[in-house]
Amino acid sequence: MDTSTSGTHSGSFGTPDERELAFQLVASSARLVRLAARQSASPVPRALARTLSVVNELGEPRISDLAAADRISQPTATTLVQKLEERGWVQRTADPTDARAVRIAITEAGRAAITEFRQAAADALAPRLAALSAADQRALARGVQALTTLLDHQPHQEESV
């Protein structure tokens, strides 16, 4: 497995270079999400879970907002929304500012589905976390806190499952 990176850092005990840290964070978080999805007991395709999470994060987006946020085409976003609608996880609502447009609203069943996806992913990862030392678990918990702080202080644009 290639673990090379694009930058340098100031050492394991110093403050890391922000670009290198960002690179490592993106690479590691993507691997973590793929691992959790592969090992999860959830039968729901990751694309549907991700799209539902994006809808939830954006509030009541238009299809074009959803497509832009997830960097997919509008036809792809439309297909994903149709699949979410078939499951009862979202519903289309009239856009109060534009009679030609619709908004996508998450339903209570959709919110419950997000919780189920995330719980299945957590259940899949829990044995790996349990294998870490107590010190590594504490360090990871601090990292999660820092990541939450970073995300809470940024515009919510690209977040998903």
Residue-level pLDDT, tens digit, the chain, 161 residues:
444 444 444 445 567 799 999 999 999 999 999 999 999 999 999 999 999 999 999 999 999 999 999 999 999 999 999 999 999 999 999 998 888 889 999 999 999 999 999 999 999 999 999 999 999 999 999 999 999 999 888 654 444 45
Is residue 113 within 8 A of residue 119, CB to CB? The reply is: no
Give the CATH number, domain containing residue 58: 1.10.10.10
Is 7 a member of any domain? no
Give a yes or no: residue 38 inside a domain.
no
Is residue 22 in a domain?
Answer: no
Which is nearest to 89 in space by CA: 68, 121, 117, 124? 117
Residue 99, pLDDT score: 84
- Helices 46-58 and 74-86 cross at an angle (nearest 10°) of 100
Residue 16 is predicted with a pLDDT of 79
Q: What is the pLDDT, as a whole number, of residue 13? A: 56
131, two tokens: 């294998």
- Residue 9 inside a domain? The answer is no
In a domain? residue 57:
yes
Q: Domain of 52?
A: 44-124
Task: With respect to residue 82, please indicate whether it lies within any of the assigned structural domains.
Answer: yes
pLDDT at 8: 45
Q: How many domains does the chain have?
A: 1
DSSP letters spanning 141-160: HHHHHHHHHHHHTS--SS--
Say if 144 falls within a structural domain: no
pLDDT of 119 reads: 95
Q: Given this model, what pLDDT does residue 155 score?
A: 59
The answer to whether residue 154 is domain-embedded is: no
DSSP one-letter code for 105? E
